Amino acid sequence: MDPVQICPSILAADFLVLRDQVQAAESGGAARFHIDVMDGMFVPNISFGFPLVQAMRRATTLLLEAHLMIVDPDRYLDDFAQAGADLIIVHQEAVVHLDRSIQHIKQLGRKAGVAICPATPVHTLNEIIEEVDQVLVMTVNPGFGGQTFIDYTLRKIRELRELLDARNPQCEVEVDGGIELHTIRAAYQAGAQFFVAGTAVFHNVAGPGAGVQSLIEAAQG
Ligand code: DX5
Ligand code: ZN
């Protein structure tokens, strides 16, 4: 099976000691960092924007992915690329012309990801599946950290894995939301390779490094 790649979501980090937390997560084996951008419109919560991406760019050399939970993300793709995001993820539900958004991200020289909410079927990506570098399957409704993993999304991960094996095997399958010690293995077995985790990494009592390590072990079983 593919290696387990943990992507800590800094939404759950302590921002006052962010550099320390990032370094600890890296020492624990984090693959990359996940930055949740929320606008209070597409999702009922506001998080952070460009300054945090820029700060993260100074804090780590690992890949940064920006998960844009914002209305009409096309307006800001250039700015997120400029701020230092290597992979830019737009929501299928937030854009009108998904193909245009994906091409735009690629023209910026960045990897293009598309996220789907729990209630959005995998088949809505059928026509553009060869064009994307990553599909992010939301395993909670976007907007907040610390929510409970929605079990029916496992079916979607399996369906996506099959689709990608047939048509775009290089494309990454990432899951996001409620990834904990007791949920990660099922998502891994269903076909995910990249696991976003906020609470399970940054609220681990032994620190973010231990949080990352214990998730990798739990996935491998
Ligand atoms: C939810 C975000 C997630 C969130 C995950 O809208 O996209 O990335 O930070 O947090 P946990 O791991 O706590 O569910
Ligand atoms: Zn996210």
pLDDT digits (tens, 9 = 90+) for 51-80: 999 999 999 999 999 999 999 999 999 999
Query: Which residues, by Cβ under 5 Å, contact ligand 2, an ion?
Result: 36, 67, 176
Type of residue at 167: R
CA distance 146 to 199: 6
Asked whether 196 lines ligand 1 (CB < 6 A), one says: yes
Distances (CA, A) of 209 to 122, 141, 145, 212: 33, 27, 19, 5
DSSP structural state of residue 183: T
Contact 105, 88 (CB under 8 A): yes
CA distance 162 to 31: 24
Q: Is 151 exposed, middle or buried (0-12, 13-18, 19+ CB in 10 A)?
A: exposed
pLDDT in tens, 156-179: 999 999 999 999 999 999 999 999
Q: Separation of 82 CA from ligand 2 center, angstroms?
A: 20
Which domains, from first to last, does the chain contain? 5-220 (3.20.20.70)
Model pTM? 0.98
Q: Whose CA is nearest to atom 4 of ligand 1?
A: 145
pLDDT at 103 over 90: yes
Sign of CA dihedral 3, 9, 12, 18: positive
Percent of the chain with pLDDT over 90: 99
The answer for residues whose C-beta is within 8 angstroms of residue 200's C-beta and 6 or more apart is: 179, 180, 181, 211, 214, 215
Q: Which of 47, 183, 196 to mutate to test the pocket of ligand 1 (most atoms within 8 A of CB)?
A: 196
> Which active-site residues does the annotation give?
36, 176
Q: Separation of 34 CA from ligand 2 center, angstroms?
A: 7
The whole-number pLDDT of residue 123 equals 98
- Ligand closest to Cα of 181 equals 1
pLDDT at 6 over 90: yes
**pLDDT band at 1; cut points 50, 70, 90:** confident
The whole-number pLDDT of residue 53 equals 98
**pLDDT band at 88; cut points 50, 70, 90:** very high
pLDDT in tens, 130-142: 999 999 999 999 9
**Beta-sheet strands, E only, within the chain:** 5-8, 32-38, 63-69, 87-91, 111-116, 134-138, 172-176, 194-197
What mean pLDDT value characterizes the chain? 98
Per the DSSP assignment, residues forming a β-bridge with 174 are 136, 194
Give mean pLDDT, residues 44-50.
98
Contact 120, 103 (CB under 8 A): no
Q: Separation of 73 CA from ligand 2 center, angstroms?
A: 15
